């Protein structure tokens, strides 16, 4: 698996900050040996936190296009908001990554069961309202060039 540029930057920046904080705490508590141990521990923890934060930012990019258009789609229902549609899109995007190559119709029952079991991930959309949004996200990913799929550097843009 190749490292992503944003993840390297996020991990590296957080590792430096964590290492500096860890070194300061370690030096204050344990002198020179504490400084070395604190810097190493702080750097490792900072790198992990930076990676998680970079990953979260990538997820937001994945949804950006859908956030702009959800209310103009034929499946949009009046009275519902982005906070209702976002879980449906996110669930489809995440599931698509797990089931790459599978058509939506082949995993639809699994998706429905997961949607219902997870109490709609906080959305007010029942399955019949969420399903078209999920299909839209799924098929957009099927048709997207590889550089446009979530997890790659270029932000995802569906059609």
129 is in which domain, residue-wise?
73-148
Q: Tokens 């569906």 label which residue?
A: 158
Give tens-digit pLDDT for 23-62: 678 678 778 877 777 667 766 675 555 554 444 434 455 7
In angstroms, what is the C-alpha Rg of the chain? 20
Global pTM reads: 0.57
Within this chain, do residues 103 and 139 fall inside the same structural domain, yes or no? yes
Do 40 and 100 lie in one domain? The reply is no
Where a domain ends, among 15, 34, 59?
Answer: 59
Looking at the structure of the chain, the number of domains it has is 2
Other Cβ atoms within 10 Å of 141 Cβ, number: 21
In a domain, 66, yes or no: no
**Top-ranked range on mean pLDDT: pick from 48-52, 123-127, 146-150, 154-158:** 123-127
Query: Does residue 68 lie in a domain region?
Result: no
In a domain, 144, yes or no: yes
Please say which residue of 12, 30, 59 terminates a domain.
59
């Amino acid at each position: 698996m190749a490292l992503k540029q944003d993840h390297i930057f996020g991990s590296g920046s957080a590792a430096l900050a964590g290492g500096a904080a860890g070194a300061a705490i370690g030096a204050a508590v344990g002198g020179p040996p504490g400084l070395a141990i604190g810097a190493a521990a702080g750097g490792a923890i900072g790198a992990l936190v930076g990676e998680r934060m970079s990953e979260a930012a990538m997820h937001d990019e994945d949804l950006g296009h859908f956030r702009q258009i959800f209310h103009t789609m034929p499946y949009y229902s009046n009275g519902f908001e982005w906070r209702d549609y976002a879980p449906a899109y996110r669930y489809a995007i995440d599931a698509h990554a797990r089931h790459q190559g599978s058509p939506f119709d082949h995993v639809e029952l699994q998706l429905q069961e997961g949607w219902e079991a997870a109490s709609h991930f906080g959305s007010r959309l029942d399955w019949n309202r969420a399903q078209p949004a999920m299909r839209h996200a799924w098929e957009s990913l099927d048709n997207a060039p590889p550089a446009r799929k979530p997890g790659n550097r270029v932000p995802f843009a569906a059609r």
